[in-house]
Amino acid sequence: MYFGVMEVVKNDKKTIRGWAFFDWANSAYNLVISTAIFPPFFTAIAPKELSFFGMDILSSAMYSYSVSFSFLIVAILSPMLSGIADYSGRRMIFLKFFTLIGALSCSALFFFSGADSVWYGLIFFILGTVGFGGGLVFYNAYLPIIATEDQFDKVSAKGYAYGYFGSVLLLLFILAMIQFPDTFGIKDSTMGPRIGFLLVGVWWLVFAAVSFRSLPPDKNTKMELSFVKKGFLEVKDVFSKVLKNSKIKRFLFSYFFFIAAVNTVIYLATIFAEVELNFGTSELIVVVLLLQLVASIGALFFARVSNKIGNKKALLIQICIWIVICIAAYYTTGKNMFYAVAAMVGLVLGGIQSLSRSTYSKMIKDNVNDLNSYFSFFDVLTRIAIVAGTFLFGIVNQLTGNIRYSVLSLAVLFAISLVILWNADLEET
């Protein structure tokens, strides 16, 4: 096949390794900024309430709104940009653009040092999230270009494994600075996390450069204003194709429900541990590390499972495990049991994400000229699912006053996805 004006050799080890290094690069943001370090840092130094257009809003709520706003921006931008990229034959330029925005924004969080710079911190957190989410669309779109269908599961899992291992390495170093500041000559209590934010940006740029050198270059096409209109038309056309393809439509319908529940677990598992089981900060970090390390193993393990029994059966097995996890979490009363549940989550966390990406890649592999638009649709669906899942979790918690019922509501989402996928025709995957 041709990518732009250059012939691409598929399954090239160097190219695949370079592609996987982008997961190594940007996953540091996902772990350090969006999960482990920035959220507690923000709530610790921000005032209890923030004034927003004359309204007093809890800072914790404002943080949640900033996450939603970030996903909204990505959901709006990515279809347009992906359509443009498909029409012009360019992917790398957008991958570099969003990487630069994300990495520089993370680095800028170094200057977020107190209550007087809360809005500064939120703005660059939003920009960092946009950079992370926007880049993923174009990164994922390379998978069908650099690998043959029989290698999709293995290559996709390799990317996730690189991401989990790399992000954990950086997190451990940042945690060392926070826990043992004197060893690093740090006197200010906020300096450790802030240096960590800076390191995430540098890490992101340095290792992304490995991917930029390894992946196929863009087609040398002059960018024109008309590409914007044609980009929208491209996305509209892809949307119509998805609606007409019953196999893709059914898979994405199932994906919406299980990925909504999966991402809700990712964002709110530590909150459950803190509220229901009184986990301290250090214990929560142990949970996050456990999830990351086991998830890397799970991604590779289920890639092998899918190779033996097929993607559909492998996904069905994982969804069943997720249902068991939700029920077990509901009955969890001790910390040791929660660690066991967290290990189970890790096992299927990387696997279900990796197999979702590779399964979708197999279903759209023949649509070479529309890859970015197809993955943009996939990305937007994921973002909407996150909003739906977290909203369901919150509304059930609000109505019942018990966060455990919110966990059970996620089991319902997994059950719905199980029924849909069970009846889906995915035998070719």
- Domains of the chain, each with CATH number or no CATH: 11-422 (1.20.1250.20)
Average pLDDT score over residue span 398-414: 86
Average pLDDT over the chain, rounded to an integer: 83
Residue 6: which H helix or E strand, with range?
Answer: strand 6-7
Name which of 123-127, 311-315, 385-389 the model is least confident about.
385-389
pLDDT, position 245: 84
How high is the pLDDT of residue 225?
Answer: 66
pLDDT digits (tens, 9 = 90+) for 167-192: 889 988 998 888 888 999 998 888 99
Residue 280's alpha-carbon distances to 89, 273, 329, 407, 414, in angstroms, are 49, 9, 18, 21, 29
Indicate left, alpha or beta for 310 from its phi (over 0: left) and psi (-120 to 50: alpha). left
Distance separating alpha carbons of residues 201 and 285, to the nearest angstrom: 21
| pLDDT at residue 133, rounded to an integer | 84
Close Cβ partners of 412 (under 8 Å, ≥ 6 residues apart): none
Q: What own/partner pairs with CB < 8 Å and gap ≥ 24 does 43-52 have?
A: 45/113, 45/114, 45/115, 45/118, 45/190, 46/115, 46/118, 46/121, 47/115, 47/118, 50/118, 50/119
Q: What is the pLDDT of residue 223?
A: 64
The percentage of the chain sitting over the pLDDT mark of 90, rounded to a whole number, equals: 28
* Per-residue pLDDT tens over the stretch 330-364: 998 888 898 888 888 888 987 898 888 888 888 88
Question: Alpha-carbon distance 342 to 324, whole Å?
Answer: 12
Distance of CA 256 to the CA centre of its chain: 14
Given a cut of 50, whether residue 1 has pLDDT beyond it is no
Residue 390 has pLDDT above 70, yes or no: yes
What are phi and psi for residue 2, nearest 5 degrees?
Answer: -120, 135
Residue 369 has pLDDT above 70, yes or no: no
Residue with tokens 């957190």, as numbered in its chain? 125
pLDDT digits (tens, 9 = 90+) for 18-46: 999 999 999 999 888 887 788 778 877 88
